[in-house]
Amino acid sequence: MSTHTLPRCTPEEQGVSSEALIEFVDSLEQSGQEIHTFMLIRAGHVIAEGGWKPYTPQSLRLSNSVSKSFTSAAVGFAVSEGKLSVDDRVLSFFPERTPSEPSPGWSDMTVKHLLTMSTGQTEDPVYRFMEREDGDWVRVFMDTPVLEAPGSRFLYNSGASYMLSAIVQQATGQTVMDYLTPRLFEPLGIRDIHWEACPRGVTVGGWGLSVSTEHIAKFGQLYLNKGIWNGKKLLPEAWIEESSRSHIANGDDPNNDWSQGYGYQFWMCRHGAYRADGAFGQVAIVMPEQDAVLAFTAAVTDLAPVMDRVWETLLPALNERKEAMPANAAGHAALADKLVALALKTEGNRVSPDNRKIARHFIMEQNEACIQELTIRIDSLTYKLDIVQSGVVRRVELGQNDWAINEWNTRNRKIRFSASAAWEDENTFVMTVRQLETAYKERFEFRIDGDKLAVTHKKEFDVFPSRIFALSGEARAASKIYNEVKTEDKLLAITFDDGPNPEWTPLFLEVFRKHGAKATFYVLGTNMEQYPDLAKRIYEEGHELGNHSYSHPHLPELGREEQFEELLRAEKLIVEAIGTKPNTFRPPFLDVSDDLLSVAEQFGYPIIHALNTDSRDWETPGVEYILESSRAGVRKGAILLFHDGFGDRSQSLEAISILVPELIEQGYSLVTVSELLGIA
């Protein structure tokens, strides 16, 4: 058996018919429950596996309470190494946290009572963990009264699982994550996983472990093998036996898989099986009598119908025979076709109304999600949604009646999610987002009423109750082109293109500082990458940054998608440098097209031209020529254009050094473009 991946073979080689497995998969789809992935092992070989698109058995998944069974294994390793015993008193590990007046029964609680969830507590303390400001979850557990005799009654208790992790750390000097790495994870080839920790650095134990379906299946196979992996004993057989038998009753319904007894952080099942079981259907079922392991992930609120399908449809196929069956090329090909075509349905219709209703730029009213703007674009295969949230621009690609995979970088790690969108009716556009590492599902409903947009958001299959919030906004009118603003006030905006430039920009800044004036700098993304600190200085000195594209191409010659990327890349760099998005856009060469106007509208940008374009200062025509041409454009509300980047800007600098004090002497206030547009 390979360390890294489990061996594969046809079902028939392990005595199972491909047709029976097709029937089993069909039964899962007909159960009314949403299965995401599964892997079936027989005699140490994977005989079937699949994922309902967009999920795959090899992708990491938050396993929820399957984590408890891994924590149980950590206790088993510690017991086998003599670090602790299941009969050790819980109080002995944390004498300094012992309550001053412990409730009756506290002195009798042992590690075994934690393992079997029979602590004698009448509530699960985990729900109060987050309320503890100093992060001392052990203290919360210890402060929870023990009102019944430990060992007398089963009560599901995630706090007890956390305590097992804390005890292993106390006994070994390592977190459960670190302790299991050389003992379990590395031997099984389980890599690139993560496990949440509490504020004090203790692996949370009862939840929070992200592993793949294959990782869960390997773990189940290790237990089926009685602790042996690749011929090497990892866990003692005696520990496996104790973990996988019932130690305490949890019900008396013979047909209920939650009433078959509880072991050491494992649930007993019907038919002599047992399982690791996480919320919303993250499960590994170990079936010793059938020499099989079934692992699956899901997003279900009721696992019982799925378990019923396992016993009613899969179990007979596994029980039919154990020796190899004759080769079945046609049946295996049909199974392969079935598995490769698995996909979750997307919401909405396949016939869309006029997409122009939704393909617009919307300004959102103030909301709890801090979403300021939404822009939706459409191409032949996908929708693209750009979100401005707290000044940061994020893009989501949405499959049209399909799933598109997205990846966002966060402070701690990458988040992978899939998204799909479709029309539900002629005025309702629906977006579904699935976080690929969880069962979580988010649904966004966009309701269009003329220029008005109402968005409703709901999150499902979270460990917390479903949450709903609503947004409202309005489409912004098509981008306008400004070279001046009508006003009776003596206001004027001077602008600079193609910077920031480390040689010339500081000299222009000094002129404006000297005279207490403001300007607007239309910056290029390529220069922003090199000189972000200079851009920050411009902003901090009270000037404005505008978008001038990323690389200064002739935008009308590009397609809409390329135009959008040019503006988006530049905008992101501006946001990174100064923490806020630009308000306006100036196209390179002052050239626009219908497509570019539409793209600018999606960003919410007015397009800024100027009244003195014939000054051609970028061609260094002479200081007097620049001045004469610029003076001709001076009037109330005018926008003037100069350059602080690309080449020798000495003539522009000399002209500005003369023009700025001259305009101020004439009574003009030199303001930013946004200030000027504010009175438009």
Residue 659, Ramachandran bin (φ over 0: left; ψ between -120 and 50: alpha; else beta): alpha
Q: At what angle do helices 158-172 and 66-80 cross, to 10 degrees?
A: 30
**For residues 15 and 327, is the Cβ–Cβ distance under 8 A?**
no
For residue 453, the model assigns a pLDDT of 92
Helix (H, G, I), strand (E, B) or coil at 337: helix
Percent over 70 (pLDDT), the chain: 95
Which DSSP category does 585 fall into? B
d(CA 236, CA 225): 11
For residue 436, the model assigns a pLDDT of 92
Segments making up each domain of the chain, as ranges: 1-62+214-224+234-344, 65-207, 355-475, 481-677
CATH 3.40.1380.10 for domain 355-475, yes or no, is no
Average pLDDT over residues 303-323: 93
**For residues 448 and 358, is the Cβ–Cβ distance under 8 A?**
yes
- Residue at 155: amino acid letter: L
Average pLDDT over residues 222-247: 98
d(CA 307, CA 298): 12
**For residues 325 and 17, is the Cβ–Cβ distance under 8 A?**
yes
**Cα distances (Å, whole numbers) of residue 268 to 38, 114, 152, 279, 300:** 20, 17, 18, 16, 20
Question: Which residues share a beta bridge with 544?
Answer: 520
For residue 331, the model assigns a pLDDT of 96
Bond prior to 54 in cis (omega within 30° of 0): yes
d(CA 382, CA 376): 10
Q: Does residue 16 carry a pLDDT above 80? A: yes
**Better pLDDT: 481 or 281:** 281
**Better pLDDT: 170 or 350:** 170
Q: Does residue 615 carry a pLDDT above 90? A: no
Q: Does residue 467 carry a pLDDT above 60? A: no
CATH classification of 65-207, choosing from 3.30.1200.10, 3.40.605.10, 3.40.710.10, 3.40.50.2300?
3.40.710.10
Would 1-62+214-224+234-344 and 65-207 be classified into the same CATH topology?
A: yes
Greatest mean pLDDT range, 123-137, 597-611, 657-671: 657-671
Average pLDDT over residues 617-639: 95
DSSP 386-402: EEEETTEEEEEEEEESS
**Cα distances (Å, whole numbers) of residue 404 to 227, 432, 447, 528, 548:** 40, 11, 22, 31, 30
For residue 594, the model assigns a pLDDT of 76
DSSP 387-456: EEETTEEEEEEEEESS-EEEEEE-SSSEEEEEEEEEEEETTEEEEEEEETTSS-EEEEEEEEETTEEEEE
Average pLDDT over residues 343-367: 77
Contacts of 345 (CB under 8 A, 6+ apart): none
Average pLDDT over residues 301-315: 95
Which DSSP category does 316 fall into? H
Band (pLDDT 50/70/90 cuts) for residue 593 is confident
Helix (H, G, I), strand (E, B) or coil at 170: helix
Q: Catalytic amino acids? A: 497, 643
Q: Does residue 273 carry a pLDDT above 80? A: yes
Least confident segment among 190-204, 288-302, 362-376, 440-454: 362-376
Question: At which residue do the structure tokens 């999600």 appear?
Answer: 369
Average pLDDT over residues 459-475: 69
Q: Which long-range contacts (CB under 8 A, 24 or more apart) does 556-565 make?
A: 556/591, 556/592, 556/593, 556/595, 556/596, 559/595, 560/377, 560/595, 560/598, 560/599, 561/379, 563/595, 563/596, 563/599, 564/377, 564/599, 564/602
d(CA 288, CA 613): 82
Q: Does residue 536 carry a pLDDT above 90? A: yes
**For residues 405 and 398, is the Cβ–Cβ distance under 8 A?**
no
For residue 1, the model assigns a pLDDT of 45
Percent over 90 (pLDDT), the chain: 75
Q: Does residue 311 carry a pLDDT above 60? A: yes
110-128 pLDDT per residue, tens:
999 999 999 999 999 999 9
Which H helix or E strand runs over 285? strand 282-287
Q: Does residue 554 carry a pLDDT above 80? A: yes
For residue 680, the model assigns a pLDDT of 42
Least confident segment among 189-203, 298-312, 462-476: 462-476
151-204 pLDDT per residue, tens:
999 999 999 999 999 999 999 999 999 999 999 999 999 999 999 999 999 999
Q: Could you tell me whether strands 274-278 and 267-268 are parallel, antiparallel, or unpaired per DSSP bridges? A: antiparallel
Phi and psi for 211 in degrees, rounded to 5? Answer: -140, 170
d(CA 258, CA 266): 11
Burial zone of 1 (CB within 10 Å; 0-12 exposed, 13-18 middle, 19+ buried): middle
For residue 246, the model assigns a pLDDT of 98
CATH topology of domain 481-677: TIM Barrel (3.20.20)
Band (pLDDT 50/70/90 cuts) for residue 340 is very high
Average pLDDT over residues 519-527: 98
For residue 306, the model assigns a pLDDT of 96
CATH number of 1-62+214-224+234-344: 3.40.710.10
**Better pLDDT: 255 or 389:** 255
Q: How far apart are the first and last CA of the chain?
A: 73
d(CA 396, CA 377): 11
Taking every pair of Cα atoms in the chain, the longest distance, rounded to a whole number of angstroms, is 100
405-458 pLDDT per residue, tens:
998 876 667 788 999 998 888 889 999 999 999 988 889 999 999 889 999 988
d(CA 41, CA 266): 19
Residue 620, Ramachandran bin (φ over 0: left; ψ between -120 and 50: alpha; else beta): left
DSSP 33-102: SEEEEEEEEETTEEEEEEE-BT--TTSEEE-TTHHHHHHHHHHHHHHHTTS--TTSBGGGG-GGG--SSP
Q: Does residue 556 carry a pLDDT above 70? A: yes
Residue closest to 114 by CA, chosen among 180, 172, 184, 165: 165
Q: Does residue 4 carry a pLDDT above 90? A: no
Q: Which two tokens stand for residue 71?
A: 């924590």
Q: Does residue 468 carry a pLDDT above 70? A: no
d(CA 383, CA 374): 13
**For residues 505 and 499, is the Cβ–Cβ distance under 8 A?**
yes
**For residues 147 and 105, is the Cβ–Cβ distance under 8 A?**
yes
For residue 169, the model assigns a pLDDT of 98
Q: Does residue 464 carry a pLDDT above 80? A: no
Contacts of 516 (CB under 8 A, 6+ apart): none
Average pLDDT over residues 353-359: 74
Average pLDDT over residues 200-229: 98
**Cα distances (Å, whole numbers) of residue 126 to 204, 264, 349:** 10, 19, 43
Query: What is the average pLDDT score of the chain?
Result: 92
Average pLDDT over residues 68-91: 98
Residue closest to 478 by CA, chosen among 606, 298, 620: 606
- Residue at 2: amino acid letter: S
Q: Does residue 501 carry a pLDDT above 90? A: yes
d(CA 30, CA 13): 27
For residue 352, the model assigns a pLDDT of 56
d(CA 615, CA 617): 5
Average pLDDT over residues 380-409: 82
d(CA 597, CA 398): 23
For residue 2, the model assigns a pLDDT of 46
For residue 497, the model assigns a pLDDT of 98
Question: Which residues share a beta bridge with 70?
Answer: none
- Residue at 327: amino acid letter: A
Band (pLDDT 50/70/90 cuts) for residue 142 is very high
Q: Does residue 65 carry a pLDDT above 80? A: yes
Q: Does residue 477 carry a pLDDT above 70? A: no
Q: Does residue 355 carry a pLDDT above 60? A: yes
Residue closest to 276 by CA, chosen among 90, 66, 450: 66
